[in-house]
């Protein structure tokens, strides 16, 4: 069925660059260069500059799996309204090397300004500034060129020298004197040569800028996370870095074991002691964790796994974004046991989903998966977080009598007990009786299967009654189904084009919330996802019978450009 699903017209998007209408409030800034030239830092500083104007931002970083060299760029789109994703055509592009110029010279809006390094690009079109030549006069010429992006931005939006100085002193504290002097040189050159100016309207209010990795870490921490185990693997690594850097403030201990197998097993061991534990990995690492994940299902361990998707198979494309592991995430580990899988549709929602999954893992004593992608974990946007909305379940603890780790209950969830204790606490990977002793008796095997099935039924009942499992945005037809970070692209495309439709995002994918989706059966439907074979589409058909009339897919490792996506949706909507 993959790819050629019957009765469905499929559009494949290759990541083109559409035209941004002139009446849109969105302003997009792009800076490109080699790894080590400070493009990511310049993107962060630009985002902070826009936020200081009370404008909303969305920042995305693009880079290959190289420490130095290659081509890196940072995109920052900003608007006075809420903005959900980046735009690929820039109003201002600052390009620091020949490769960046070759790639991005046509990625401009109708009135866009292109600034390039005339030292590196000899016959360019746009505004050439002698960036590298000026940088040679400083101690770290390769790194200082990144300041160019901020000096040029300040000149083009009409910020005076005083505002530029304040920005540089705040954001580039290392070698501050050199950075200021270099910024002044570039600013003066830009003011002389660039005649066009962009007036950025101030917004009414804004909120802190956070990356998805940060909101995930904060959400889990708010729900009581004690230990985070991970072996570095993009795009999960930023969560490890964030939690390690904030260990004292958040009270979360981060551990980097020798490999992914150790990561998963140590997290299960930590849960045995009563610690709230979480694992971070990506597809290849999660493959190595399958035996441990099944162990978590058998011993009824209370662990959350973060699974950051990237293009595969195998090593694939390590530093890019895709949604090819949806079906893989639904049934990891061998055997029958409850699995919980949820995928946040925005950087803000990731905060609440991370907390909720930790709560559910402890409430139902079964492993949970937070499924996401680089586009969410490594991008940044304004978020408004409310810690008061976070729930952290107090587990049902054993209080008296003989302790039975796997005691049969009406819900399938057994009372917990943690060491130190005089009672025997037995977590067993073999099939076992209620006390945890290994058993191969037929009736014991059957009873434990029924116990785990009962827990699955209790989980579904709880999700139906207590948890928002599906998001719905807008009204009208068709229904546009999507999940994960692609939700941000879809919402921005709909907003950009003023389309009348209903965006439907299943947050929970296992158990699949068919009870909330059956109302869409019979309505005109479109599915948008970032994979080649239409995995969400397959899941919708299997679980609900919803048969979309069209499918829009992109699988080149890049997130959707809202302008291109809007054009494809417009063709469907008519």
Q: Please, is 160 exposed, middle or buried when counting C-beta atoms within 10 Å of its C-beta (0-12, 13-18, 19+)?
A: exposed
Sheet containing strand 27-35, strands side by side: 127-129, 108-117, 90-95, 27-35, 69-79, 56-62, 380-382, 209-211
H-run or E-run covering 529: strand 525-529
Query: 254 has which bridge partners?
Result: 228
From 535, 569, 573, select the one nearest 552 (Cα to Cα): 569
Residue 541 backbone dihedrals phi, psi, to 5 degrees: -60, -45
Q: Where are the domains of the chain?
A: 9-14+469-573, 27-193, 211-389
pLDDT (tens digit, 0 to 9) for every residue of the chain, 574 residues total? 334 444 555 656 554 444 444 346 899 999 999 988 999 999 999 999 999 999 999 999 999 988 777 899 999 999 999 999 999 999 999 999 999 999 999 999 999 999 999 999 988 899 999 999 999 999 889 889 999 999 999 999 999 999 999 999 999 988 889 999 999 999 999 999 999 999 999 999 889 999 999 999 999 999 999 999 999 999 999 999 999 999 999 999 999 999 999 999 999 999 999 999 999 999 999 999 999 999 999 999 999 999 999 999 999 999 999 999 999 999 999 999 999 999 999 999 999 999 999 999 999 999 999 999 999 999 999 999 999 999 887 889 999 999 999 999 999 999 999 999 999 999 999 999 999 999 999 999 999 999 999 999 999 999 999 999 999 999 989 999 999 999 999 999 999 999 999 999 999 999 999 999 999 999 999 999 999 999 999 999 999 999 999 999 999 999 999 999 999 999 988 7
pLDDT score for 68: 75
Write 403-406 long-range contacts (CB < 8 A, 24+).
Answer: 403/435, 404/434, 404/435, 404/436, 405/300, 405/434, 405/435, 405/436, 406/300, 406/432, 406/433, 406/434, 406/435, 406/436, 406/448, 406/451
Burial 175-190 (b: 16+ CB within 10 A, else e): beebbbbbbebbbebb
- pLDDT value for 1: 35
Q: Which CATH number fits domain 27-193: 3.90.420.10, 3.40.50.2300, 3.40.920.10, 1.10.10.60?
A: 3.40.920.10
Residue 70 structure tokens = 């290659």
Angular region, 46: left φ>0, alpha ψ -120 to 50, beta rest: alpha
> How far, rounded to the nearest angstrom, does the alpha carbon of residue 152 sit from its chain's CA centroid?
30
CATH H-level superfamily of 211-389: Thiamin diphosphate (ThDP)-binding fold, Pyr/PP domains (3.40.50.970)
Read off the DSSP letter of residue 389: G
Q: Which parts of 405-524 are beta strand (E)?
A: 470-473, 479-481, 502-506, 508-510
Going by the DSSP 8-state scheme, the letter that residue 392 receives in this structure is -
How far, in Å, CA of 552 to CA of 376, rounded?
20
Using omega within 30 degrees of 0 as the cis cutoff, is the peptide bond preceding 270 cis? no
Output the CA angle 397-400-401, nearest 5 degrees: 125
Classified by CATH at the fold level, domain 9-14+469-573 comes out as Rossmann fold (3.40.50)
Q: Look at residue 572 in the predicted model and tell me its pLDDT.
A: 87
Distance CA 19, CA 110 (A): 8
How far, in Å, CA of 214 to CA of 465, rounded? 29
Residue 23: per-residue pLDDT: 45
Query: Are the CB atoms for 508 and 469 separated by under 8 Å?
Result: yes
| 211-389 shares the fold of 9-14+469-573 | yes
């Amino acid at each position: 069925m993959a790819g050629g699903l019957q009765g469905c017209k499929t559009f494949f998007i290759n990541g083109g660059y559409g035209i941004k209408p002139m009446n849109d409030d969105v302003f997009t800034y792009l800076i490109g260069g080699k790894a080590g030239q400070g493009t990511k830092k310049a993107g962060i500083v630009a985002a902070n500059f826009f936020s200081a104007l009370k404008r909303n931002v969305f920042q995305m970083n693009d880079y290959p799996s190289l420490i130095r060299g290659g081509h890196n760029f940072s995109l920052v789109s900003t608007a006075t309204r809420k903005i959900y994703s980046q735009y690929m055509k820039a109003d201002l592009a600052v390009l620091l090397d020949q490769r960046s110029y070759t790639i991005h010279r046509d990625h401009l809006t109708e009135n866009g300004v292109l600034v390039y390094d005339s030292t590196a690009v000899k016959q360019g079109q746009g505004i050439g500034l002698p960036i590298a030549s000026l940088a040679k006069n400083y101690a770290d010429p390769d790194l200082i060129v990144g300041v160019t992006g901020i000096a040029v931005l300040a000149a083009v939006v009409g910020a005076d020298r005083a505002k530029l100085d304040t920005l540089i002193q705040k954001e580039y504290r290392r070698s501050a004197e050199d950075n200021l002097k270099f910024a002044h040189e570039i600013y003066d050159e830009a003011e002389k040569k660039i005649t066009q100016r962009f007036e950025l309207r101030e917004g009414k209010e804004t909120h802190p800028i956070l990356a998805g990795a940060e909101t995930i870490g904060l959400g889990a921490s708010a729900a009581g996370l004690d230990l985070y185990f991970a072996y570095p693997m993009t795009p999960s690594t930023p969560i490890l870095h964030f939690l390690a850097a904030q260990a004292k403030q958040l009270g979360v201990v981060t551990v980097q074991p020798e490999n992914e197998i150790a990561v998963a097993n140590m997290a299960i061991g930590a849960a045995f002691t009563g610690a709230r534990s979480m694992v971070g990995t990506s597809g290849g690492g999660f493959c190595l964790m399958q035996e441990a994940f099944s162990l978590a299902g058998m011993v009824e361990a209370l662990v959350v796994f973060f699974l950051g998707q990237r293009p595969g198979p195998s090593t694939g494309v390590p530093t890019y974004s895709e949604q090819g592991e949806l079906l893989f995430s639904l049934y990891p580990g061998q055997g029958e046991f409850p699995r919980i899988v949820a995928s946040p549709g925005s950087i803000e929602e990731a905060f609440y989903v991370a907390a909720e999954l930790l709560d559910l893992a402890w409430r139902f004593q079964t492993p949970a998966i937070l499924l996401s992608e680089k586009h969410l974990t490594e991008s940044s946007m304004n978020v408004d977080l409310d810690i008061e909305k976070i729930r952290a379940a107090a587990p049902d603890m054993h209080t008296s009598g003989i302790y039975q780790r796997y005691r049969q209950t009406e819900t399938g969830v057994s009372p917990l007990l943690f060491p130190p204790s005089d009672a025997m606490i037995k977590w067993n990977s073999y099939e076992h009786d209620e006390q945890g002793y290994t058993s191969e008796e037929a009736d014991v095997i059957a009873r434990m299967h029924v116990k785990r099935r009962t827990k699955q039924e209790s989980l579904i009942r709880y999700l139906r009654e207590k948890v928002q499992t599906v998001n719905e945005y807008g009204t009208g037809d068709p229904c546009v189904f999507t999940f994960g970070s692609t939700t941000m692209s879809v919402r921005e495309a709909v907003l950009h084009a003023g389309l009348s439709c209903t965006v439907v995002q299943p947050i929970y994918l296992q158990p699949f919330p068919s009870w909330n989706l059956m109302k869409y059966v019979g309505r005109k439907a479109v599915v948008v996802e970032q994979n080649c074979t239409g995995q969400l589409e397959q899941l919708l058909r299997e679980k609900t019978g919803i048969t979309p009339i069209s499918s829009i897919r992109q699988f080149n490792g890049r997130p959707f450009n809202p302008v291109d996506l809007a054009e494809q949706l417009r063709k469907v909507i008519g």
